[in-house]
């Protein structure tokens, strides 16, 4: 069973399905993992495109009006004015935070709870003066050491964080990640990337779902992954599993164009 890294999934154990958002992970009662474990505080302006979404997920500013996140963070494609995006700060309580309401959600059309885990949140008003995060359009940056960041839990079962945390995690090959000692074939090799330490200790967690995994490219930061799922947080032999952005880059760019972004 896939254990999404959304904050909503954590709440599912305490709230009946009738009172929950139609998030598929929450409906299934999956335990979810929230924030960066083993991380340190990010500096103001270090990752300006980081976004916190009010449903308990992360995201990255793809364009002035679009936030790239995970499909499992949203219920469906369609008009949606209920999501608030917060960005421009590392402290979610800062008076200088920028907020925008959503007006539309686009969920990957192939998403059925197994792969295709990406989505867009369209903002009602553009964000100006904030850098966006380019996506990887080839596999050139899909190995090496990556950076993850988020406001999710800093330990398994922990609480959402006020301050943005960051950490570095190494690439784990598909063969290793799908081995019997790790995920035993659950990872979709063509469209997912694993990253983390064999010994554990550093990972994304509940509340980090939808946030970016990124690394330095030829001209700055490039997004290579989207926080998707994992078994617990920072456990040995259980690296984080991320949507492989390069695999979906054409579909992502096409969707962005159709949404006006």
* Side-chain-side CA neighbours of residue 152 (13 Å): 43
- Helices then strands, each counted (H, E), the chain: 4, 14
Which residues are part of the catalytic machinery? 72, 117, 209
Per-residue pLDDT band at 108 (split at 50, 70, 90) = very high
**Strand 98-107 with 57-63, pairing:** unpaired
- How far, in Å, CA of 86 to CA of 234, rounded? 26
pTM, 2 dp = 0.89
Residue 60 pLDDT > 80: yes
- How far, in Å, CA of 163 to CA of 153, rounded? 11
Note the pLDDT of residue 24.
33
Q: Is 90 left (phi over 0), alpha (psi -120 to 50) or beta?
A: alpha
**% residues pLDDT > 90 (the chain):** 84
Q: Which CATH class is domain 1-59+87-92+132-254?
A: mainly beta
Tell me phi and psi for residue 251, to 5 degrees.
-65, -40
Element (H, E) at 59: strand 57-63
Residue 235 pLDDT > 80: yes
Residue 100 pLDDT > 80: yes
Residue 20 pLDDT > 60: no
Residue 218 pLDDT > 80: yes
Tell me phi and psi for residue 155, to 5 degrees.
-160, 155
Note the pLDDT of residue 27.
31
- How far, in Å, CA of 85 to CA of 211, rounded? 12
């Amino acid at each position: 069973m896939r254990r999404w890294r959304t904050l909503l999934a954590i709440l599912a154990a305490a709230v009946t399905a009738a009172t929950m958002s139609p998030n598929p992970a929450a409906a299934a009662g999956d335990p979810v993992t929230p924030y960066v474990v083993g991380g340190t505080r990010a500096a103001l302006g270090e990752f300006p495109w980081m976004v916190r979404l009010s449903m308990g997920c992360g995201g990255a500013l793809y364009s002035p009006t679009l936030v790239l996140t995970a499909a499992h963070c949203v219920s469906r494609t369609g008009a949606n004015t209920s999501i608030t995006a917060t960005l421009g700060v590392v402290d979610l309580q800062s008076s200088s935070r920028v907020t925008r309401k959503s007006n539309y959600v686009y969920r990957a059309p192939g998403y059925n709870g197994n792969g295709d885990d990406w989505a867009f949140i369209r903002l009602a008003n553009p964000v100006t003066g904030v850098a966006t995060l380019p996506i990887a359009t080839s596999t050139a940056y899909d190995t090496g050491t990556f950076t993850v960041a988020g406001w999710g839990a800093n330990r398994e079962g922990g609480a959402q964080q006020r301050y943005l945390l960051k950490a570095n995690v190494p690439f784990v090959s598909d063969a290793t990640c799908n081995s019997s000692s790790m995920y035993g074939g659950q990872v979709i090799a063509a469209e997912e990337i694993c990253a983390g330490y064999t010994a554990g200790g550093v990972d994304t967690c509940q509340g980090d779902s939808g946030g970016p995994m990124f690394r330095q490219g030829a001209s700055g930061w490039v997004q290579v992954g989207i926080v998707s799922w994992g078994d617990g947080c920072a456990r040995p032999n259980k690296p984080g599993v991320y949507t492989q952005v390069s695999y979906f880059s054409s579909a992502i760019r096409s969707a962005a164009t159709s949404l006006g972004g």
